Structure 1
Amino acid sequence: MSRFLLKRIQVAIGIDVVLNNIFKTNFDKNVLLVYIIDPFIYSANFSVHQAFDQVRIIAKTFSDLGFNVDVIDYRSNKIKLKKQYNIVFDICIKNNPIYAKNIKSDTKRIVYFTGSESDFANSAELERIKDVKSRRGVELLPRRQAPLINSEVENCDLAIMIGNEYTFATYKDFHFKRTALVPNTGYDFSFVFDKDIKKATSFIYMGSVGSVHKGLDLLLEVFCELGAPYKLYVCGCYEREEDFVKEYYSELYNTDNIVSVGFVDIKSDKFKKLSEECAFTILPSCSEGCAGTITTCMSAGIIPICSRICGYDEDEVIILDDCQKQTIKQAVIDASDMSMADIEKKSREVVELTRKKYNTENYYIQMRKAIEKVL
């Protein structure tokens, strides 16, 4: 039995594990990567999220810089570490971290943020929950309440974040020694320039858990009011949220211009067909880092419309000034009024932007530049 198969079994049954020296190198320096371990115990081609590719790149970056790389899951609490680390790269800084006895006085600590500041994000979601109650008289469950960020992050030598200056500003109450921004990553879809003409009035929503947080409730109400010819394809994990589905059942399943798709594999023919059908993707989220579903859709030539907090600049996407229903409705109408020539031109531009900026090569370059700030 290979060591990775054994680790996979241990993880499956809930045993905390350490992946020691994943590249089998012989350097004189060690780094502990505290993030997710699944990407290292499954095939290199196995990926269910951009984070899988990115954590592998982070590990490779440290190896290229001359560090032996150990990896543990950020949720681990019964780990026995045997090394002293020169660097710790941690996505979830705690007061008494599991590696406290394995760092030296000169150990460099890096914290990694992949979303907006948690108090900001939590408050934004609760405000959205309140808005649903005022509109429809039902109080849905919050789905994305995150632990508050520990002030210990201010003692880290570097804070790295996925996003832009706008999303980094949500951390205004924290004072970091050094900061760095890195881009999210998209995909290199081979089909992107070999597709049928899109429909200007077709839109796709893609989102993970937290439908109210992501603004799906607003989109369902807007498209229900708009009716034909405007069409919304709803993709994601919303079906896991029983209270949300119960409240929005009619919009999701009994509305002619709303198609409930559910989870869709972005490497499937289904996603390719959706990318051919839809000219635009829309995400009126209340809090993100640099929304991964946007880079995914951009990679497929789908033009993004999103809230400013999604982490993109105005010259990259169509920005919603706010997430009021009337603003969203007008954005849908204005986008649909674009000529097919302009849509095709903009579609090519977002693909080119993704391949230039939101790609794994640039992620590696920017991550390496960030890490080198503390070396």
Structure 2
Amino acid sequence: MTKKNFLWFGSFGAIHKGLDILLDIFENRDDITLHIGGLSEEDRLLLNPEKRDNIIDYGHINVMSKEFLDIVNKCSFTILPSSSEGCSTSITTCMRHGLIPIVNKDSGFNRLLKNAIFLEDYKVDYINDKLTEYSNYNSGELDILSKNIYEFANNTFTIKVFESKFKEIMQIIINKQDD
């Protein structure tokens, strides 16, 4: 059941990105699973995650690989409980695969509006309770949300859209200089 599976997808600075909080939660539960992608060797040594069936550390993952697709197909959610990671590309990458982002409110993701689940706090007990709530959502509702997020992300987070918006902004700047 994918709604019981969460992907933390990051790189260097795992504590800064909230992985330590998630490990505190998942090391004390066995009803939900944490998939960890991109954990650096330095952070692995620092955090020393417990070896458990519900905590799966994949190490570095190539987002263009079958392995990455297999992981995102196991999960419903991508989670990044960072208090200062401004609109992480790991979240946008996962959204482009239909994963539902769970991110801290006011950390650069507010423009996602209804296309994300926002955490109001970063404390272990709060996030633990929220993970229980999210993992018990109705599967049909999660499917609809996932499809909406997939469409939003694939219409928003592409090179073509970036290029178009960049040209538009540059033209506004050029026009203001001509005034």
TM-score, structure 1 length as denominator? 0.44
Structure 1 residue 232, shift from structure 2 partner: 0.2
Task: Give the superposition deviation at 1:363.
Answer: 1.0
Q: Which residue of 1 aligns with 2:53?
A: 256
Q: Quick one: which amino acid aligns to residue 311 of structure 1? A: F
Correspondence 1:272 to 2:61? no
User: How much does 1:312 deviate?
Assistant: 3.5
Task: Report the CA distance shift for 1:219/1:310 in structure 2 as closer, same or farther (over 3 A).
Answer: farther
Specify whether residues 349 and 264 from structure 1 end up closer, same or farther in structure 2 by C-alpha distance, changes over 3 A only.
same
Q: 1:289 to 1:248 in 2, by over 3 A?
A: closer
Structure 2 contact 100–115 (Cα < 8 Å) conserved? no
Q: State the match for 1:210 in structure 2.
A: 13
Structure with greater helix percent: 2
- Cα distance in 2 for residues equivalent to 1:310 and 1:293: 13
Match of 1:333 among 117, 121, 132: 132
Superposed counterparts of 1:217-236, under 5 Å: 217-225=20-28, 227-236=29-38
Shift of 1:245: 2.8
Instruction: Give aligned pairs, total.
Output: 172
User: Partner of 2:177 in structure 1?
Assistant: none
Asked whether the 8 Å contact 1:253–1:260 carries over to 2, the reply is no
The CA deviation at 1:247 is 4.4
Residue 238 of structure 1 deviates from its aligned partner by: 2.6
The residue type equivalent to 1:368 in the other structure is K
Task: Decide whether the 8 Å contact of 2:103 with 2:109 is kept in 1.
Answer: no
Is 1:283 matched with 2:85?
A: no
Name the SS for the 1:203 alignment partner: strand
Whether contact under 8 Å (2:115, 2:145) holds in the other structure is no
Once residues 65 and 50 of structure 2 are traced to their aligned partners in structure 1, the CA distance between those partners, rounded to angstroms, is 23
Matched, 1:352 2:156: no
Amino acid at match of 2:30: A
Larger Rg: 1 or 2?
1
Unaligned stretches of 5+ residues in structure 1: 1-197
> CA shift at 1:253, angstroms?
4.4
Asked if 2 retains the 8 angstrom alpha-carbon contact of 1:288 and 1:311, the reply is: no
Please report how far the alpha carbon of residue 305 of structure 1 lies from its aligned counterpart in structure 2 after TM superposition: 0.3
Q: Look up the equivalent residue of 2:170 and give its one-letter code.
A: I
Which residue pairs with 1:363 in the alignment? 162
Tell me what 2:171 maps to: 372
User: How does 1:30-45 map onto structure 2 within 5 Å?
Assistant: none
| CA displacement at 1:365 relative to structure 2 | 1.7
How far, CA to CA, are the matches of 1:293 and 1:203 in structure 2? 13
CA RMSD of aligned residues (A): 1.5
Unmatched 5+ residue regions in structure 2?
175-179
Looking at structure 2, the residues matched to 298 and 331 of structure 1 have their Cα atoms a distance apart, in angstroms, of 20
1:346, CA displacement in angstroms?
A: 1.0
Worse-superposed segment, 330-339 or 292-301 = 330-339
Does structure 2 retain, via aligned residues, the 8 Å contact 1:285–1:310? no
Instruction: Give the alignment partner of residue 294 of structure 1, picking from 91, 102, 105.
Output: 91
Q: Which of 305, 313, 323 in structure 1 is aligned with 2:122?
A: 323
Identical aligned residues as a percent:
28
**Local SS of the residue matching 1:344:** helix
Asked which structure has the greater RCO (Cα within 8 Å, sep 6+), the reply is: 2
Q: CA deviation at 1:287?
A: 1.4
Answer 1 or 2: which has greater strand percent. 1
Other-structure match for 1:311: 109
Contact 1:264 1:271 in 2 (8 A): yes
